[in-house]
Amino acid sequence: MVTNQELEHLLQDLESDRVERKASAGDRSKIRRTICAFANDLPGHGQPGVIFIGINDDGRCSNLRITDELLKTLSSMRSDGNILPPPTMVVQKHILNGCELVVIAVEPSDSPPVRYQGRVWIRVGPRLDIATNEDERRLAGRRRAVDLPFDYRPVQGASLEDLDIDFFRKTYLPSAIPPDVLEQNQRPVEQQLASLRFLTKENIPNFGAILVLGKESPAWIPCAYVQFLRIEGRLLTDPIKNSKKLAGPLINVLDLLDELLRINISATIDVISSSQEIQRPDYPVMALLQLVRNAVMHRSYENTNAPVKVYWFSDRIEISNPGGLYGQVNPENFGKGATDYRNPLIAESMRVLGYVQRFGMGIQLAKHELEQNGNPPPEFQFEPGSFLVTVRISS
């Protein structure tokens, strides 16, 4: 956390690789590029980069009107999915040297390189620039070797042969990196994988690589599957109509889940008039998709052999996953935009592959879809080692 004394000192300094001044917040793309560059911290300061919004280059106040809406908009840049992995940053209103300012303090990332819309931005003195291949190699080699999230940790014994390189080249890479950047940078696949955080600096695949790109992910992570049950009744002991074990690469599991949810939804016909009928599903598919994807993204893979479970009863659907609420998310702020990531590489991959549009919005969207369809609100049960959401059939 940057103190007020440090902020005042930085504000007096000329723009450098740690400081950016802006008179307004109009150029949101430039602000995001700067956040990305500060998160990459190519000079290796190991200290936050700071964006001051509301001050001119000559040090005069720009008299920017700072509203709660502006602060919320700037804060949302952390989790809107444009900057990956999501940066650690604080957005606050300050009065410094007589100016009312927005201060964005961006911490150096533990897992560089960080990308904004597929491009790695760096700070070269007071100037923003796109990282070269050598810059990216330096950033990748700087990742922290301790306290890594599960999906960044190396899988001992795994090699490139355990990854579907064809899928990576044809599907994942074009989704993650803009075409013009790919065309300019014809790098070996090892460097491409490392740049997207799938390999350690020793070229060992991590657990995220095995889950997203692996040919046989259950062989390395036995609990990495989704158990789907369709039950003819309200009790777990009632007859089972359908049972599926969904395993394999992440994209296969998510696509199979999508298909299963859609084919199991039933629709009733509401007669509005003699000439108008409306089909109403017992569950809105978009709400279910948001909830099961949330379970896959946030589940724990450590110290458990349990899968994600989707149990479809005659009167409700129960979706559960191992791993309780994580990090800064708690029962009070859950579902209100608060975000934190037990599996940041999995979250990033789901965003890259199109299964997440904006981080932190899935629960809100699910609630809205259920309400619009006439279903009761979802019921959440939080335990230290598990998470359960129950969705009840529309009345």
Among 177, 201, 217, the domain-final residue is 217
State the first-to-last Cα distance of the chain, in angstroms, to the nearest integer.
50
What is the pLDDT, as a whole number, of residue 210? 97
| Claim to verify: residue 194 and residue 252 sit in the same structural domain | no
pLDDT of residue 37: 96
Domain interval for residue 157: 145-217
Please report the pLDDT score of residue 328 as a whole number.
84
Compute the distance between CA of residue 193 and CA of residue 251 in angstroms, rounded to an integer: 17
Q: Given a cut of 80, is residue 330 above it in pLDDT?
A: yes
Residue 354's pLDDT is 94
pLDDT band for position 30 (cuts 50, 70, 90): very high
Determine the 3-state secondary structure of 76 from DSSP.
helix
Which pLDDT score is estimated for 303?
A: 86
On whether the CB atoms of residues 105 and 48 are closer than 8 A, the answer is yes
How big is the chain by its Cα radius of gyration, in Å? 23
Instruction: Give CA 383 to chain center in angstroms.
Output: 22
Domain assignment of residue 134, yes or no? no
Residue 87 counted as domain residue: yes
Average pLDDT over residues 305-318: 97
Phi, psi (5° rounding) for residue 3?
-80, 165
Which of 96, 128, 160 is the C-terminal boundary of a domain? 128
Residue 271: is its pLDDT beyond 60? no
**39, containing H or E segment:** helix 28-40
Examine the domain organization and report whether 123 and 36 are in the same domain. Answer: yes
Q: What is the pLDDT of residues 187-203, one digit of tens each?
A: 899 999 999 999 988 89
Could you tell me if 191 and 318 lie in one domain?
A: no
The one-letter amino acid at 343: N
Both 149 and 284 in one domain: the answer is no
Q: For 56-98, what is each residue's pLDDT tens digit? A: 888 889 999 999 999 999 999 998 889 999 899 999 999 888 8
- pLDDT for 289: 97
CATH number, domain with residue 245: 3.30.565.60
* pLDDT at residue 146, as a whole number: 52
Residue 6 confidence (pLDDT) above 90: no
Q: pTM here?
A: 0.82
Q: Averaged over 266-288, what is the pLDDT?
A: 78
Asked whether residue 290 is domain-assigned, the answer is yes
> Which pLDDT score, from 0 to 100, does residue 89 have?
93
Confirm whether 345 is domain-assigned: yes
Structure tokens at 161: 């042969």
| Residue 320: burial class (beta carbons within 10 Å; 0-12, 13-18, 19+) | buried
Q: In this structure, is residue 138 part of a structural domain?
A: no
CA distance 158 to 26: 47
Residue 99 has pLDDT above 70, yes or no: yes
Overall domain count for the chain = 3
Distance from C-alpha of 286 to C-alpha of 100, rounded to nearest angstrom: 42
Output the domain CATH number for residue 28.
3.30.950.30
Length of the chain: 395
Say yes or no: 185 and 311 in one domain.
no
Residues 289 and 346 in one domain: yes
H helices within 164-320, ranges in order? 165-167, 173-176, 179-184, 189-195, 207-213, 217-220, 250-264, 285-298
What mean pLDDT comes out for the span 369-378? 95
| Nearest residue to 106 (alpha-carbon basis) of 13, 34, 183 | 34
What pLDDT score does 148 carry?
83
Alpha-carbon span 165 to 13, nearest angstrom: 47
The reported pLDDT for the residue numbered 96 is: 85
269-308 in b/e form (b: 16+ CB < 10 A) is eeeeeeeeeeeebbbbebbbbbbbbbbbbbbbbeeeebbb
Q: Are strands 316-322 and 308-312 parallel, antiparallel or unpaired?
A: antiparallel
> In the β-sheet with 308-312, what is the strand arrangement from edge to edge?
240-247, 225-231, 308-312, 316-322, 386-392, 379-383
Is residue 8 pLDDT above 80, yes or no? no
Residue type, 22: K
Token pair listed for 65: 């009107």
The pLDDT of residue 152 is above 80: yes
Please report how the helices 344-352 and 285-298 are oriented relative to each other, as an axis angle in degrees rounded to 10.
140
CB atoms within 10 A of CB 72: 11
pLDDT at 234 over 90: yes
187 and 241 part of one domain: no
Q: Is residue 187, in this structure, part of any structural domain at all?
A: yes
Can you read off the two tokens belonging to residue 266? 């039933």
What is the predicted pLDDT for the residue at 387? 95
Q: What is the model's pLDDT at position 144?
A: 64
Together in a domain, 153 and 285:
no
Q: Are 83 and 176 in contact (CB under 8 A)?
A: no
The mean pLDDT of the chain is 90
Q: Is the residue at 137 inside a domain? A: no
Predicted pLDDT at 186: 77
Is a pLDDT exceeding 70 seen at residue 272? no
| Shared domain check, 385 and 236 | yes
The reply to whether 102 and 233 lie within a common domain is no
Contact 74, 91 (CB under 8 A): yes
Q: Taking the alpha carbons of 77, 78, 81, 84 in that order, is the dihedral positive or negative?
A: positive
| Cα–Cα nearest to 229, from 238, 220, 221 | 238
pLDDT confidence bin for 145, thresholds 50/70/90: low
Do 265 and 365 reside in the same domain of the chain? yes
Q: Final residue of a domain: which of 73, 93, 128?
A: 128
CA-to-CA dists, residue 237 to 226, 227, 233, 234, 293, angstroms: 20, 16, 9, 9, 27
Tokens of 193: 């994988």
What is the tens place of the pLDDT at every residue in 112-144?
Answer: 999 999 999 999 888 899 999 889 888 888 776
Q: Tell me what pLDDT residue 184 has.
A: 77
Give percent above pLDDT 90 in the chain. 68
Residue 162 CB neighbours (<10 A): 18
- 267 and 210, same structural domain? no
Bridge partners, residue 281, by sequence: 267
